[in-house]
């Protein structure tokens, strides 16, 4: 081999090394460098959103093995890539930590790669010209500013400070309603006189980009707040109606619709705040497709299945424990969602009553009902605070008792509140029915059975079963308006599922199980209170038949006595009263008043289930409010009494006073 050949080989090798080095360097630069053509629209929200989508897509899909990284750098980049993928998936489920991670990455991309600066950021949102800001822009700025000081109480503080949750008349409406208008937001923004730094402005822009990319559009920040719930698509004109109006409607009305003077379904955003449904008239999803996107994403946590035309609704929970219900056409007239939040930190009886007159005695009574192991229902309309009340009552269950919960969707999340307690929650699935779940519960050493909501016939049957054989006592919620309605509803549920064919027999099972009913009310102003606590008093079977016909000498006299007994018989068959009820606490003129005494049977049973300290305090409570003591003697059952009486000498017993 000549020297010339050796030189040529060396040159070829050097050229090959340079080509390989150049291609690797080019790939590295391609990963971090993005060519941006600057024009008038470069720094708009739409353009920056496109850039963020494209850039994050590149980061998550790039093949790290092709760019010649060292082992340590490769491992670091793989972990970063995995964390981003996980965050992009988790933030759509309502995880605030994943949301924070994604927003920080977007912030860095815009500032370091896209070149957003103090001089061009106002092209996205005109921060420096308040007159050009929309009501949504101003609201986003207000929420961001309040959030820095109050965190997730920001919206609550804003509403309270400016008294926004009050009935008001809106232009074009004849009746007052709960609504927050554009004008109110603009007035508040002017009063606040907010001064923002560049970082503050960019954070607002980042939130706007995030909510249209991975978030829940205009409700993204609202959903995270500590409020009772948020819903969308529940008012305004659906798309189907708009098309009908276009064919048959008048010109003026069509013009109003085209100018968005008439609210559309996609303009519908409502919050549930301290018992009041408030419409946020200044917020909108903008388009029907954006509302549809939110509905299709908001229920996806834990893969609950596909929302389709054949399966037009989904009930699920979000990662933070919120309950979400989504509906779609053709099951509903438009796409809509309902997010119900449960603030576990506030779920105490003291917080529920909020120090109203007589609330201390009411709280004490409710605590004794739980400690006394009474089967108790919590009734009332939707949104009156049943779940919150139930959470507060559970706090007073003795630590030694194991708690088992059956729900349709996870709502109570008791283990978040009581992480050291023995608590396990079950729910229905597509393959496991509620009845099967209850059967499993019976084998899990539970002492207390809690049913989140008795809303269907099978669930009512589970409740009766659980109260009879599955646990020491049961707590549950129901939507009944009155106590007789509650008994009737439970009875009818037992009949409909075929457990009983006789109304009286089914009703007898219900009243033997049910001890107390706590009924909650929400008035038209949104105030929530305990309207009454009612005791259920089963009426014992009374023997009113006599044998006096044996003492009669004449046939006519014997017939008279026989017809007396026959009359008693038909009265029992046709008009048999199985229970009585009376209120032991009532809400009268803004004050909680303890009224009728609890019956001795319940008092004695409650005392037997309490520890010594609670039993002593309960004795004092009873004597203070009802002026008598709990009878400590063993109660003799009616069957034992009847065994002591012979058929010949049996006399009618006095009816127990109710």
C-alpha to C-alpha distance for 366 and 356, rounded to whole angstroms: 15
Which tokens belong to 197?
A: 């730094």
Residues 271 and 297 in one domain: yes
Top mean-pLDDT range of 111-125, 416-430, 431-445, 545-559: 111-125
What does the pLDDT read at residue 507? 86
* Residues 6+ away with beta carbon under 8 Å from 122: 128, 129, 201
Residue range 570-599: mean pLDDT, rounded:
84
What does the pLDDT read at residue 23? 60
C-alpha to C-alpha distance for 313 and 332, rounded to whole angstroms: 9
Taking alpha carbons only, the member of 638, 534, 635, 537 closest to residue 578 is: 537
Q: Which has more pLDDT, 20 or 451?
A: 451
Q: Which has more pLDDT, 206 or 548?
A: 206
Residues 96 and 230 in one domain: no
- Determine, yes or no, domain membership for 639: no
Residues 161 and 96 in one domain: no
Asked if residues 454 and 463 have their Cβ atoms less than 8 Å apart, the reply is yes
Residues 249 and 396 in one domain: no
Residue range 320-327: mean pLDDT, rounded:
89
- Determine, yes or no, domain membership for 247: yes
Where is average pLDDT lowest: 19-33, 158-172, 252-266, 558-572?
19-33
Provide the 3-class DSSP secondary structure of residue 353.
helix
pLDDT over threshold 70, residue 636: no
- Determine, yes or no, domain membership for 439: yes
* pTM score over 0.95: no
Confidence of residue 82 (pLDDT cuts 50, 70, 90): confident
Residues 253 and 360 in one domain: no
What does the pLDDT read at residue 280? 94
CA distance readout (Å), 456 to 237, 388, 511: 32, 21, 19
C-alpha to C-alpha distance for 23 and 19, rounded to whole angstroms: 6
CATH number at residue 316: 3.30.450.90
Residues 458 and 325 in one domain: no
Considering 321, 341, 361, which residue would you say is the last residue of a domain? Answer: 341
When the pLDDT of each residue in the chain is averaged and rounded to a whole number, the result is 82
Task: Give the model confidence (pLDDT) of 225-262 as tens digits.
Answer: 988 899 999 988 887 665 555 555 555 545 555 555 67
Task: Give the model confidence (pLDDT) of 175-188 as tens digits.
Answer: 888 999 999 999 99
C-alpha to C-alpha distance for 144 and 154, rounded to whole angstroms: 8
pLDDT over threshold 50, residue 133: yes
What does the pLDDT read at residue 517? 94
Residues 320 and 382 in one domain: no
Burial class from Cβ neighbours inside 10 Å (0-12, 13-18, 19+) for residue 214 reads buried
Residues 283 and 358 in one domain: no
- Determine, yes or no, domain membership for 553: no
- Determine, yes or no, domain membership for 86: yes
If one counts the domains in the chain, the total is 3
pLDDT over threshold 90, residue 635: no
Considering 78, 94, 113, which residue would you say is the last residue of a domain? Answer: 113
- Determine, yes or no, domain membership for 76: yes
What does the pLDDT read at residue 61? 83
Residues 359 and 284 in one domain: no
CATH number at residue 527: 3.40.50.300
C-alpha to C-alpha distance for 613 and 123, rounded to whole angstroms: 69
Residue range 157-171: mean pLDDT, rounded:
89
Residue range 183-206: mean pLDDT, rounded:
93
As separate numbers, helices (DSSP H) first and strands (DSSP E) second, the chain gives: 24, 17
Which tokens belong to 228?
A: 């009772």
Asked if residues 547 and 557 have their Cβ atoms less than 8 Å apart, the reply is no
Domain range spanning residue 78?
3-113
Asked if residues 461 and 497 have their Cβ atoms less than 8 Å apart, the reply is yes
Top mean-pLDDT range of 66-75, 423-432, 542-551: 423-432
| Exposed e or buried b per residue across 617-652, where buried means at least 16 C-beta atoms within 10 angstroms of its C-beta | ebbebbeebbeeebeeeeeeeeeeeeeeeeeeeeee
Q: How many residues does the chain have?
A: 658
Question: Strand 276-280 relative to strand 177-180: parallel, antiparallel, unpaired?
Answer: parallel
- Determine, yes or no, domain membership for 267: yes
Residues 366 and 222 in one domain: no
Considering 311, 341, 371, which residue would you say is the last residue of a domain? Answer: 341
C-alpha to C-alpha distance for 199 and 176, rounded to whole angstroms: 41
* Residues 6+ away with beta carbon under 8 Å from 347: 388, 391, 392, 395, 417
Task: Give the model confidence (pLDDT) of 7-51 as tens digits.
Answer: 777 777 877 776 676 665 555 444 444 445 555 678 899 999 999
Residues 139 and 192 in one domain: yes
Top mean-pLDDT range of 246-255, 348-357, 560-569, 589-598: 589-598
Asked if residues 602 and 610 have their Cβ atoms less than 8 Å apart, the reply is no
C-alpha to C-alpha distance for 114 and 36, rounded to whole angstroms: 7
- Determine, yes or no, domain membership for 544: no
What does the pLDDT read at residue 618? 93
Residues 433 and 522 in one domain: yes
Q: Which secondary structure element, helix H or strand E, spans residue 326, and what is its range?
A: strand 323-327
Tell me the backbone φ, ψ of residue 359, rounded to 5 degrees. -70, -30
Which tokens belong to 255?
A: 């013009």
Task: Give the model confidence (pLDDT) of 366-396 as tens digits.
Answer: 999 999 999 999 999 887 888 888 888 888 8
**Strands of 193-239, DSSP E:** 229-232
Question: Strand 269-273 relative to strand 167-168: parallel, antiparallel, unpaired?
Answer: unpaired
Whole-number percent of the chain with pLDDT over 70: 84
Where is average pLDDT lowest: 197-206, 208-217, 406-415, 600-609?
406-415
């Amino acid at each position: 081999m000549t020297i010339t050949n050796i030189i040529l080989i060396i040159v070829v090798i050097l050229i090959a090394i340079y080509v390989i080095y150049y291609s690797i360097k080019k790939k590295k630069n391609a990963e971090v460098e993005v060519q941006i053509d600057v024009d008038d629209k470069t720094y708009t929200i739409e353009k920056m959103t496109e850039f963020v989508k494209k850039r994050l897509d590149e980061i998550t899909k790039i093949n790290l093995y092709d760019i010649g990284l060292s082992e340590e750098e490769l491992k670091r980049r793989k972990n970063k890539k995995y964390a981003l993928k996980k965050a992009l998936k988790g933030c759509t489920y309502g995880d605030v930590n994943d949301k924070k991670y994604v927003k920080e990455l977007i912030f860095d991309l815009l500032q370091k790669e896209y070149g957003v600066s103090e001089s061009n950021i106002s092209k996205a949102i005109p921060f420096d010209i308040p007159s050009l800001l929309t009501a949504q822009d101003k609201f986003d700025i207000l929420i961001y500013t309040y959030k820095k000081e109050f965190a997730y109480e920001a919206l609550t503080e804003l509403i309270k400070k400016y008294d926004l949750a009050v009935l008001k008349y809106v232009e074009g409406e004849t009746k007052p309603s709960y609504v927050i208008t554009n004008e109110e937001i603009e007035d508040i923004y002017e009063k606040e006189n907010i001064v923002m730094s560049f970082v503050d402005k960019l954070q607002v822009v980042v939130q706007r980009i995030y909510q249209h990319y991975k978030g829940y559009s205009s409700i993204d920040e609202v959903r995270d707040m500590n409020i009772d719930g948020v819903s969308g698509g529940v008012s305004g004109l659906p798309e189907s109606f708009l098309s009908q109006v276009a064919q048959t409607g008048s010109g003026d009305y069509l013009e109003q619709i085209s100018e968005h003077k008439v609210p559309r379904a996609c303009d519908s955003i409502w919050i549930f705040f301290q018992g009041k449904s408030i419409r946020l008239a200044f917020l909108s999803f903008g388009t029907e497709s954006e509302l549809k996107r939110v509905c299709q994403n908001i229920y996806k946590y834990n893969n609950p299945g596909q929302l389709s035309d054949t399966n037009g609704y989904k009930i699920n929970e979000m990662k933070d424990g919120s309950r979400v219900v989504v509906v779609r056409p053709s099951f509903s007239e438009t796409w809509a969602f309902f997010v119900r939040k449960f603030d576990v930190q506030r779920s105490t009886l003291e917080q529920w009553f909020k120090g109203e007159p007589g609330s201390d005695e009411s709280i004490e009574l409710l605590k004794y009902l739980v400690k006394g192991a009474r089967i108790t229902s919590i009734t009332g309309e939707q949104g009156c605070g049943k779940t919150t009340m139930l959470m507060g009552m559970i706090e007073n269950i003795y630590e030694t008792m194991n708690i088992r919960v059956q729900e349709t969707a996870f709502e109570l999340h008791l283990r978040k509140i009581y992480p050291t307690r023995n608590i396990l929650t079950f729910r229905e699935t597509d393959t496991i029915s509620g009845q099967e779940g209850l059967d499993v519960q019976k084998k899990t050493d539970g002492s207390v059975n809690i049913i989140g909501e008795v809303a269907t016939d099978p669930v009512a049957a589970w409740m009766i079963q659980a109260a009879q054989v599955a646990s020491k006592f049961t707590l549950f919620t129901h939507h009944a308006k009155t106590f007789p309605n509650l008994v009737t509803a439970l009875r009818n549920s037992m009949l409909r599922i075929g457990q009983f064919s006789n109304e009286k027999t089914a009703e007898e099972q219900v009243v033997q199980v049910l001890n107390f009913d706590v009924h909650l009310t929400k008035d038209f102003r949104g105030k929530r209170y305990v309207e009454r606590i009612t005791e259920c008093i089963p009426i014992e079977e009374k023997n009113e038949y006599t044998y006096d016909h044996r003492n009669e000498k004449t046939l006519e006299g014997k017939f008279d006595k026989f017809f007396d007994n026959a009359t008693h018989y038909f009265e029992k068959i046709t008009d048999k009263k199985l229970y009585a009820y009376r209120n032991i606490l009532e809400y009268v003129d803004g004050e909680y008043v303890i009224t009728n005494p609890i019956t001795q049977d319940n008092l004695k049973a409650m005392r037997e289930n309490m520890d010594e300290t609670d039993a002593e305090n309960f004795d004092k409570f009873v004597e203070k409010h009802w002026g008598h003591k709990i009878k400590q003697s063993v109660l003799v059952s009616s069957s034992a009494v009847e065994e002591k009486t012979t058929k010949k000498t049996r006399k009618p017993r006095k009816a127990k006073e109710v």
